[in-house]
Structure 1
Amino acid sequence: MNSLLRISAQLWADILVAYAFFVMQNYLTDVWKLSFTHAAGILNIWGGIHMILPVFLLFLVDALLGNFKMLLISSTAYSVGIGFIAMSTPPVLASSTNTCKQYEPQCIGHTQKVLFYTGMALLAVGMAGNLVSVRPFLMEQKDKLDDDEEIQSFLSSSVLVWVAFIPVIGAIALPYVKPWSLRFGIPAIFTAFVTLHFFSGSLDYHQVDPQGSPLTNVCRVFVAFFYKKSKTIPRDSMQLYRGEDENSQSFSRTRFLRCLEKAAIVLPDSKLEDQVKNRWRLCSVAEVEEAKIVVRMIPMWITFIVCGIVSSIGNTYFIEQANHMNHKLGNWKVPLQILLLLYMWARSLFSLLAVGFSKISEKHGPPVGIAIAMIFSVLCCITAARIEKRRINVIRSHGLLDKPDDDIPMSVYWLLFQFFLLAGLDSFFEKSAAAFYEDQAPESMRNYLSYFTKAISGLGFMFSELSVYVVGKVSENGGGTNWFQ
């Protein structure tokens, strides 16, 4: 029970950090005084990196480290990273004059910038490592128990009730902490406590040794192919190498990328036993076919970059829209984090719909779900554009164009429509894409499916920044004004 509690606490730390980072756009624009395109660029590049990293970290887990060692690394990186970001705020470490402690750009010196960017890098590693290993490591602990009674007791305990309350606490309490040093410092303290608590149980955990990564087999196929690229593929498939477990099975040789079958050619100038020992020179037919499937998925992955581009605007441009709008609900000035809380709840609802939709028809459900996600992305962009047009009209009608720090007499709840559609996009895309790949991908690659999908979304985050840069440069031609300013 204690082991499960120590491990699951890693997930709670993620939630508090997520709420602190939801307003990072405001921190960079209000304190660092960056343009919102510059601030959004920093966050989108960071978001892309931390979504791509899980694929590489999962490979390290399977091939070298195992989940326990990965959690040791990621937990340490997580706590040190958010700690560095808290230390980078001006009151914590003053500049070289030792007197500049205000939240102003002149108080952001070289030391603060180094701490901030180093902390962001470490935090990306920590978040990716936790994403990869926390849940699998929890599953490994089940093997240590004699029955499921302790697991069921844990799942039904009040501990998990707190998981539901932590987002509410983070959304309501954290925004009322005004100093930025404390906004980042409180999650840093909590994360450090969770990390030490996890380390305290190191001797009690059940650890599973790494079993090897299926990505290695894909790489082996390409290495063996290049080694034998001058060879001719035999017409008789029986002349290709089949593993010991494959001799009694029949494999359909797809015509797609037939050239890769050269990796399974048995060379006549040496013994088969010697060739089998050198796994980077000879692959089985099944391994070649699995590599073909992976290559065949690449065009579909590239298509999904567009969904990532739309998703990237949620915690950057949408937050910039909301920054000076009317937050009041009666006499209560609602914090911006409530938008994130409502987005998360809407995403949970859409996730249930997406999963149910996929189960209704295992063959047609996932592709249709992906199409629904793309429709959500179109509707989200149209809605956001219409609401932004309305917001600009309100600014003009009240003479606020030259007063960027004044509040705009327009309710922030207009933005709920686009956040709702964004939740639908993210949920249907994640669940339907995972179900689609589970049906199409080889069984050995299924652990990587969700992370490949997240990685493609991460590329979309980066392409979003590239599109902003290109559009900005084009709009400035002939002395024009950058559209994004």
Structure 2
Amino acid sequence: MISTKLPQLRPPSCNTHLITNCKKANGFQMGILYLALYLIALGTGGLKSSVSGFGTDQFDEKDEKEKTQMAYFFNRFFFFICTGTLIAVTVLVYIQDEVGRSWAYGICSVSMFVAILIFLSGRRRYRYKKSSGSPIVHIFQVIAAAIKKRRMELPYDISMLYENSSEVSRIHHTYQLRFLDKAAIMAEGDFESSSMAPNPWKLSSVTRVEEVKMMARLLPIWATTIVFWTAYAQMITFSVEQASTMERSIGDFQIPAASLTVFFVAAILITLALYDRLIMPLWKKWKGKPGFTNLQRIALGLLLSTLGMAAASLAEKRRLSVAKHVGRNTATLPITVFLLIPQFFLVGAGEAFIYTGQLDFFITQSPKGMKTMSTGIFLTTLSLGFFISSFLVTVVKRVTGSHDEQGWLADNINYGRLDLFYCLLAILSFINLVIYLICAVWYKPKKSKAAVEMEALQLAQEKC
């Protein structure tokens, strides 16, 4: 806000149509701009990776009523995020264009200051959970101990493995990733001679090993959700370029091409509202559960994304046929921009399911002391999706282009084959969906203590 208000922190306004006559920003002004952008990125990263985990800490998973309320929390949490996005791309953009850029940034600054005050006002009512140390260090300790004991044989009785956690916080042994169990084998030299406490780099408890297993089991699900954000990145870039060539008038008003992202936000809000107020209550009455499981929501998101890419390919094929008929250099093609709405709504609805499903999955299926870390892992799917998106565009341009032609992704999309690019994304999304379903079947969700005890009882009865 300050850089847009003070003339010393920005270059003078450009009142001419000749861009070459505009004065460029100096080093100091660019430094202030980059400093502001980096501070926003730093604050956003810290906020996003912490707020969802801290929010779920306010619910007691052992209380069935609060556990049900937590299922609603993820939907409403994302709903308010999208509401803020909707206000940003409508109200604040209007204020920025019609009133002034400094007013728009000023409103954001005041809003954040008020949000901080509201957050701090409830600090005495929040539930705080003590940290048990760095989760990354704990993971490396288990891996290091397992590697050191890789040649040792696992005992036939799992009760012989080392365990020093209290009964309340104990995580029961599972039979996946058994190599890591070797970190819990007791051997000579594992205990410190002075205090008789175990050396964490040589010996880990079963609970600590199971925590690492839980994080490892998240990785296949994590990997198979990256493709969604790759497709999403293409939708919010090429769809705007498509819209800029299409008829966008409603009466005397012309919709800005960039404003069509509102349909994304609208699709998310509508999907979340319907799911929260209609689907979840009906599902609870029918199945006795508060809505779909997190893995089911992720699957729905991936399916809707695949359908969205297919719809985008068909819409682009139709747009290209019109461009070929009337002339590829025509500025505005005689085809309505509302042809793009199905792809916006399908991918937007998919985002509503996959974002809340991922958030729920990575928080509830991670160890208690690693919730912030698991949220950070979830957020890396977004960043990696956008990186892979850029890489995919580069590869497609290089493979399909030539000296005379620019291939599928031409600078003027009327001369390209964006429909084939969308078709490629639809195929990749479908393959990814199949792989995800295999990983989801392989994944063993975290079980409650009662469920573990019941399973152990059944195994004992079978042996008898």
TM-score by length of 1: 0.62
The 1:246–1:407 alpha-carbon spacing in structure 2 relative to 1, beyond 3 Å, is: same
Stretches of structure 2 lacking an aligned partner (at least 5 in a row): 60-79, 411-464
- Alpha-carbon deviation of 1:407? 3.7
One-letter code aligned to 2:389:
S
Contact 2:245 2:332 in 1 (8 A): yes
Q: Which residue of 1 aligns with 2:180?
A: 260
One-letter code aligned to 1:328:
S
Q: Which residue of 1 aligns with 2:205?
A: 284
Q: How many percent of aligned residue pairs carry the same amino acid?
A: 25
Contact 2:9 2:32 in 1 (8 A): no
- Alpha-carbon deviation of 1:471? 0.7
Q: Which moved more, 1:305-314 or 1:364-373?
A: 364-373
Deviation digits for residues 223-247 of structure 1, max 9, x if unmatched? 3334544555444433321014159
Q: Does 1:239 align with 2:174?
A: no
Give the distance between the partners of 2:50 and 2:396, measured in 1 at CA: 39
Deviation digits for residues 31-80 of structure 1, max 9, x if unmatched? xxxxxxxxxxxxxxxxxxxxxxxxxxxxxxxxxxxxxxxxxxxxxxxxxx
The 1:278–1:352 alpha-carbon spacing in structure 2 relative to 1, beyond 3 Å, is: farther
One-letter code aligned to 1:346:
A
- Alpha-carbon deviation of 1:99? 8.3
Q: Does 1:190 align with 2:107?
A: yes
SS in 1 for 2:335: strand
Q: Which residue of 2 aligns with 1:225?
A: 146
One-letter code aligned to 1:327:
R
SS in 1 for 2:197: helix
One-letter code aligned to 1:323:
S
One-letter code aligned to 1:350:
T
- Alpha-carbon deviation of 1:101? 6.5
Q: Which residue of 2 aligns with 1:423?
A: 348
Give the distance between the partners of 1:118 and 1:367, measured in 2 at CA: 39
Stretches of structure 1 lacking an aligned partner (at least 5 in a row): 1-81, 143-161
Which of 291, 299, 305 is equivalent to 1:371? 299
Which of 227, 231, 242 is equivalent to 1:310? 231
Q: Which moved more, 1:446-455 or 1:380-389?
A: 446-455
TM-score by length of 2: 0.65
SS in 2 for 1:243: coil
Give the distance between the partners of 1:265 and 1:371, measured in 2 at CA: 38
Where in structure 2 are the equivalents of 1:297-376 lying within 5 Å?
297-336=218-257, 339-352=260-273, 356=279, 360=287, 365-376=293-304
SS in 2 for 1:124: helix
Please give the root-mean-square deviation of Cα atoms over the aligned residues, in Å: 4.4
Where in structure 2 are the equivalents of 1:57-456 lying within 5 Å?
93-94=10-11, 104=19, 111=27, 117-134=34-51, 170-176=88-94, 182-183=100-101, 185-197=102-114, 206=123, 211-212=131-132, 214-229=135-150, 231-246=152-167, 251-254=172-175, 256-269=176-189, 271=191, 274=195, 276=197, 278-336=199-257, 339-352=260-273, 356=279, 360=287, 365-399=293-327, 401=329, 406-435=331-360, 441-442=366-367, 445=370, 451-456=376-381
Q: Which residue of 1 aligns with 2:416?
A: none
Q: Which residue of 2 aligns with 1:22?
A: none
Give the distance between the partners of 2:270 and 2:243, measured in 1 at CA: 24
SS in 2 for 1:313: helix
Deviation digits for residues 243-297 of structure 1, max 9, x if unmatched? 141599793341x332212322323236478463643443210221221232123
Contact 1:276 1:282 in 2 (8 A): no
Deviation digits for residues 7-31 of structure 1, max 9, x if unmatched? xxxxxxxxxxxxxxxxxxxxxxxxx
Deviation digits for residues 363-383 of structure 1, max 9, x if unmatched? 985444333322211211121
The 1:87–1:234 alpha-carbon spacing in structure 2 relative to 1, beyond 3 Å, is: farther
The 1:457–1:169 alpha-carbon spacing in structure 2 relative to 1, beyond 3 Å, is: closer
Deviation digits for residues 376-396 of structure 1, max 9, x if unmatched? 112111211222233333344
Deviation digits for residues 139-191 of structure 1, max 9, x if unmatched? 9999xxxxxxxxxxxxxxxxxxx9998766544444445759944x4442223
Q: Which residue of 2 aligns with 1:79?
A: none
The 1:306–1:222 alpha-carbon spacing in structure 2 relative to 1, beyond 3 Å, is: same
One-letter code aligned to 2:42:
V
Considering Cα pairs closer than 8 Å and 6+ residues apart, tell me whether 1 or 2 has the greater RCO.
Answer: 1
The 1:124–1:131 alpha-carbon spacing in structure 2 relative to 1, beyond 3 Å, is: same
Q: Which residue of 2 aligns with 1:468?
A: 393
Contact 2:49 2:375 in 1 (8 A): no
One-letter code aligned to 1:307:
F
SS in 2 for 1:410: strand
The 1:328–1:301 alpha-carbon spacing in structure 2 relative to 1, beyond 3 Å, is: same
Contact 1:434 1:449 in 2 (8 A): no
Give the distance between the partners of 2:349 and 2:16, measured in 1 at CA: 40
- Alpha-carbon deviation of 1:123? 2.4
One-letter code aligned to 1:130:
L
Q: Which residue of 2 aligns with 1:12?
A: none
The 1:438–1:412 alpha-carbon spacing in structure 2 relative to 1, beyond 3 Å, is: same
Contact 2:95 2:103 in 1 (8 A): no
The 1:92–1:114 alpha-carbon spacing in structure 2 relative to 1, beyond 3 Å, is: closer
Contact 2:53 2:375 in 1 (8 A): no
The 1:428–1:210 alpha-carbon spacing in structure 2 relative to 1, beyond 3 Å, is: same
Q: Does 1:481 align with 2:402?
A: no
Give the distance between the partners of 1:178 and 1:271, measured in 2 at CA: 64
One-letter code aligned to 2:253:
W
Q: Which residue of 1 aligns with 2:431?
A: none
The 1:245–1:176 alpha-carbon spacing in structure 2 relative to 1, beyond 3 Å, is: closer
- Alpha-carbon deviation of 1:216? 4.5
